[in-house]
Amino acid sequence: MTSILIHIGYPKTATTWLQDIFFPKILNYHYVSWREANRLIYNSSCFAYNSERVRDEFFKNKGANLLVSSEFFSTAINSGFNYGYFSYGISHKLKETFPDATIIIFIRRQQSLIPSAYQQYIKNGGTYSFKRWLYSGEVFSFEHLIYSKLIEHYIKLFGSNQVKVFLYEDFKMNNRKFMEKFCQEFGFVVDWDSISYTPTNRGLRRFCMPLIKMVNHFYKKPVGRKRFICHIPGMTTVGRGVIKYLNPMPVFGRYLNEDDFLSKKDLEYIKNFYSQHNRELTSYFDKQVLENFGYYL
């Protein structure tokens, strides 16, 4: 019997590593990248959506097990969540197209994911300060990271046995051990010798952050919301060059972490906002495990 697995994120939970390094090395599944998945599902009209045609596109390799991955299915962090309409609509597209699929969801404690998402916003061309990005509601939405609501929604659609939730912190603590258990659960056959655990999407270094933000003010790019002074052709290439060539250099300081962004007031707000919702995660994970990983409960 053909197995269908759909990995929907969340963003900033090792999705780039999974999509670029790990998923392509699974030998007994046909892997569909986020670009192809977005073309067929994310970037298609809800009212003109043809699930049979999309399913046929995915199953060009007849009889093969199917693995689809796109963190955009849970909505990109820096698109303001769109009040949940994207993730809600996509979930119904997935159900219509693959009614028997298993949904894979990774989550990450919010006070760790938020600074990582902001750095991605800057990498993508953003210019807002961290405070404006976090609180204005123009780019980031706190509601996006209420994990229990999305999990419960998918369980209602696909059934509790068909929704698998994992902690990013488990992966981060021991990635090889975690991935071995992950493969056992889904029956993956993997070429382990070809797997590299080197991070594929590092954060920004201390002195690269202001440099990239300065460059970002000189081109107009649709990355949620931003301010820009004027558009100078070629500045996007300059920005990418800073990230690719300068950011890896230790001379530009250490990599930024959550303490560089979140004040005590921010942490208190995050705790008050998410604690009640995070307690609902104890339906899926031991409370002590969540507390040990720093989830606000």
Give pLDDT tens digits for 217-251: 998 876 668 888 888 888 888 888 889 999 999 99
Chain mean position to CA 14 = 7
**What is the predicted pLDDT for the residue at 222?**
63
**What is the predicted pLDDT for the residue at 291?**
97
Residue 267 confidence class, pLDDT cut points 50, 70, 90: very high
Token pair 């073309």 is at which residue?
A: 39
Domains of the chain: residue spans and CATH: 4-118+142-194 (3.40.50.300)
Q: Is the pLDDT of residue 135 over 80?
A: yes
Q: Using one digit for the tens of pLDDT, what is the confidence trace for 191-210?
A: 888 898 888 888 999 999 99
Q: Using one digit for the tens of pLDDT, what is the confidence trace for 149-182?
A: 999 999 999 999 999 999 999 999 999 999 999 9
Residue 58 confidence class, pLDDT cut points 50, 70, 90: confident
Measured CA to CA, the distance from residue 188 to residue 186 in angstroms comes to 6
Q: Is the pLDDT of residue 76 over 90?
A: no
**What is the predicted pLDDT for the residue at 223?**
66
Residue 59 confidence class, pLDDT cut points 50, 70, 90: confident
DSSP the chain: ---EEEE---TTSSHHHIIIIIGGGBTTSEEE-HHHHIIIIITS-STT--HHHHHHHHTSSTT--EEEE-GGGG--GGGGGGGGHHHHHHHHHHHHH-TTPEEEEEE--HHHHHHHHHHHHHHTT----HHHHHHSSSS--GGGG-HHHHHHHHHHHH-GGGEEEEEHHHHHH-HHHHHHHHHHHHT--B-GGG---S-SS---BTTHHHHHHHHHTTS---SSS---S---TTHHHHHHHIIIIITT-GGG-PBP-GGGT--HHHHHHHHHHHHHHHHGGGGTS-HHHHHHTT---
Residue 61 confidence class, pLDDT cut points 50, 70, 90: low
**What is the predicted pLDDT for the residue at 7?**
98
pTM above 0.85, yes or no: yes
What's the mean per-residue pLDDT of the chain? 92
141: closest CA among 96, 181, 82?
A: 82
Q: Is the pLDDT of residue 81 over 90?
A: no
In percent, how much of the chain has pLDDT > 90?
A: 75
**What is the predicted pLDDT for the residue at 174?**
95
Sign, CA torsion 117/119/121/126? positive
**What is the predicted pLDDT for the residue at 57?**
87
Measured CA to CA, the distance from residue 72 to residue 81 in angstroms comes to 10
